[in-house]
Structure 1
Amino acid sequence: MLNPSSNPADVIIIGGGPAGMSAALVLGRARRNVLVIDEALPRHRVTRESHGFLTRDGVSPSELRKVAHEQIAAYPSVRFIQTVAANIEGNDGAFQVTTGDGETYIGRKLLFATGMKDLPMNMKGLEDVYGKSAYVCPYCDGWEMQDRPIAIIAGEHTMHLTRTVAGWSNDLAVFTNGSPRPEEETNELMRRGIPVYDAPIREIASEAGETVAIVLEDGSEIARTAIFFAPKLAPGSDLPVHLGCDVNESGTMVVDEIGRSNVPGVFGAGDGASQKYQVAAAVAAGSMAGVGINTELLELDWEKRILNP
């Protein structure tokens, strides 16, 4: 049923992470009526610190969210509700979003800032160290892991991740976890002094979240104190596809430089519409999407002013 207690929003933002909150801030300052639907389960909650975001380097994800909510609260036209978006109908100018608790909200424009979600890791011990001594982004966490003995577990992304992590440590080892690797890649790694271990991984040995060793099925234990790995990800929501939004092979929304999708009135920002996976990048994308959405609304309102002087 329609929620009789709320007026139609100018913008409904689905997802309250860095991208969604950045867009909400821009739109709130533009005096737009904004509703943010946020499940409050951000992907980066497993990490102790967020890095690479100017003026907030080293802040915890929870503190980042707290400060963002406090600052957005200065703009009363922005509301947050903690729930999930379960279904969306309608089109540009009159989208109807039904939440998991059965309420329906109407918005003129939509912004998906739903990010990505981690699929099960299926590697014993990896969850114990994820966000403590095992990471996915060297730009976010490489400084803290610099000069450590680092394990690279990345499947088809091995060469790219190894080259990147090499900027922070010379002590690298690649673990294929039993997956076949092209012989030329293995030879290149070995020529550069990077050992390659082909046996499947039995478990990640750790103490209090700190990696101690990679234990292989053949009984070998290779001492490592840090891990960079390529996670398996899925889109945080399938609703963009339900609406007809174009996505790429990874499920990421295809958007232009201001976050506009191929579906009129629907925008995307953050990890679910990019593959940069950095807080600073998500904040920037959310800001640009907020400006893009407001520009469309200004144009519509300007036309109405001409038609209805």
Structure 2
Amino acid sequence: MHEPIYDAVIIGGGPAGLNAALMLGRARKNAVVLDEGRPRNAVTREAHGFLTRDGIAPGELRRIAKEQISRYPGITFMEDTAQWVTGADGNFQITTSQGVILHCKKLLFTVGMKDRPLNIPGLTEVYGKSAFVCPYCDGWELRDEPWVILSNGADAMHFIPLIAGWTDRFTLCTNGPDGLTEAEREDLRRHGVPLYDTPIRSIESEEGIVQQVLLEDGTAIACRAIFFRPDLRIGSDLPQTLGCEVTEAGTVVVDEFGRTSVPGVYSAGDAVTMRHQAIAAASSGAMAAAALNNELNLDAWRNHG
């Protein structure tokens, strides 16, 4: 008995992958959404900035999405991990960690990003509860509260004017050499921004809510929120293994339609950009799925004309 050949396999089941599945289901395509069930935003209690779903729990957003997608019989969900991909456009083969082999015509990587280990003691305990990476996602709930910004160099000088729109009570901790010019330090002094370059000993919290940042010299900085830039890696190395071009930052290079440098392979969502917003990822997945579907239809037209 021959294995079925799906129109597409979507590797990754976050907002990008789910919206792609919705588009392909409505386009009458047969596709599998392959996802390990461990999303990066599982640490957060609420997702924000997603129209009609502001404040929803990330798991609930996925539940509703799957419920709505289930109306379309062509879409199948598998909780598994893609371990290996071989083949070429029109005939890809995916082997999963559970030994399942899937055959498909097109591939769509929506693998997102994963956090590398957080190297500051106590940061893991507050991440997603009172330590965040995006003020657009979580700044409103912490407006006017005292924040500590963990950053340095050019990243810090980019971030600080941005977050000043949510609170004017913040301190910059660089956890070592600040990487700033004297002109930048003077700019911080002029705006009354405290700067500490002493390494951080620990972040002290109660039930996930940060109380203070303790430096190695004993300085304690009271705060109710921490914002920091995470150290991220792409959620899977399969795109690169397959030959897709990637940037120095590790994101997959795609054109405006989500096409990678490998024929028949698409990518969308956080895997292709450093601008991480759930609603933007969903939009990216929808557009890539539409382009993938158009290519499938054109292939069928040419082959049966």
TM-score by length of 2: 0.97
Aligned partner of 1:167 in structure 2 is 165
- Residues 7, 31 of structure 2: 8 Å contact kept: yes
Matching residue of 2:87: 90
Give SS of 1:276's match.
coil
Note if 1:103 corresponds to 2:100. Answer: yes
The letter of the residue matching 1:162 is: I
Q: What is the RMSD computed on CA atoms of the aligned residues?
A: 1.1
Q: Is the 8 A contact 2:142 2:225 kept in 1?
A: yes
Aligned residue among 77, 101, 122 for 2:74 = 77
2: CA distance, partners of 1:22 / 1:265: 19
Identify unmatched segments of 5+ residues in structure 2: none
- Distance change (3 Å), C-alpha of 1:160 and 1:93: same
Amino acid at match of 1:59: I
Q: What displacement does 1:162 show?
A: 1.3
- Residue by residue over 1:280-307, the C-alpha shift from the partner in whole angstroms, topping out at 9 and shown as x without a partner, is 000000000110100101111111231x
SS of 1:144 mapped into structure 2: helix
Query: Which whole-Å deviations, capped at 9, do the CAs of 1:61-90 have from their partners, x for residues lacking one?
Result: 010011011001101110011110000000
Which letter does structure 1 place at the counterpart of 2:170?
L
Relative distance call for 1:59 and 1:5 in structure 2 (3 A) is farther
Aligned runs of 1:288-307 on 2, under 5 Å?
Answer: 288-306=287-305
Q: 2:218 aligns to what?
A: 219
Distance 1:237 1:32 in 2: 25
Name the aligned partner's letter for residue 258 of structure 1: F
SS at match of 1:79: strand
Q: Which residue, 129, 142, 165 being the options, matches 1:145?
A: 142
- 1:238-258 Cα deviation digits (max 9, x unpaired): 011011111111100011122
Measured at CA, do residues 114 and 294 of structure 1 come closer, stay the same or move farther in structure 2, by a change above 3 Å?
same
Equivalent residue runs for 1:256-271 within 5 Å: 256-271=255-270
Cross-structure match for 1:23 = 20
TM-superposed CA distance for 1:262, in Å, is: 1.0
Alpha-carbon distance in 2 for matches of 1:133, 1:127: 10
Aligned partner of 1:182 in structure 2 is 180
Letter in 1 for 2:118: M
Query: Equivalent of 2:57, from 56, 60, 68?
Result: 60
- Runs of 5+ consecutive residues of structure 1 not aligned to the other structure: none
Task: Give the CA deviation at 1:99.
Answer: 0.5
1:197 aligns with 2:196: yes
Once the 2 structures are TM-superposed, how far is the Cα of residue 101 of structure 1 from its aligned partner?
1.4
Describe how 1:1-40 pairs up with structure 2 within 5 A: 6-40=3-37
Amino acid at match of 2:64: V
Give the structure 2 partner of residue 122 of structure 1.
119
After TM superposition, give the deviation of residue 161 of structure 1 in Å. 1.6
**How far 1:5 moved relative to its partner?**
7.3
C-alpha distance in 2 between matches for 1:179 and 1:294: 50
Task: State whether residues 152 and 180 of structure 2, in contact with CA within 8 Å, keep that contact through their aligned partners in structure 1.
Answer: no
Whole-Å Cα distance in 2 between the matches of residues 199 and 174 of structure 1? 11
Matched residue type, 1:161: F
2:287 counterpart SS class? helix
- Size of the alignment, in residue pairs? 303
Aligned mates of 1:219, 1:141 — CA distance in 2: 29
Partner Cα distance (1:304, 1:209) in 2: 58
Cα offset, 1:163, TM superposition: 1.7
